[in-house]
Amino acid sequence: MCDLPIDVKGNGQPKFIVRPLVAEWHQRQWHNRELEPLII
């Protein structure tokens, strides 16, 4: 499963911050890891 929240910041020119989150089911447990944010 993957979640892809996008934050929008900035005054004059918008800055988009994409924070990918990966959730995996492994050995009967959920493992979550957040990848490095991408700034556009």
In this model, does residue 2 exceed pLDDT 80?
A: no
Ramachandran area for residue 10 (φ above 0: left; ψ -120 to 50: alpha; else beta): left
Query: Where residue 18 falls among pLDDT bands split at 50, 70, 90?
Result: very high
9-27: average pLDDT:
90
Mean pLDDT of the residues in the chain: 89
pTM, whole model, 2 decimals? Answer: 0.61
Question: What is the model's pLDDT at position 16?
Answer: 95
Dump pLDDT digits (tens) for 4-17.
889 999 888 899 99
The token pair that represents 5 in the structure block:
């929240």
Query: Percent of the chain beyond pLDDT 70?
Result: 98
Dihedrals φ, ψ of 25, to 5°? -95, 115
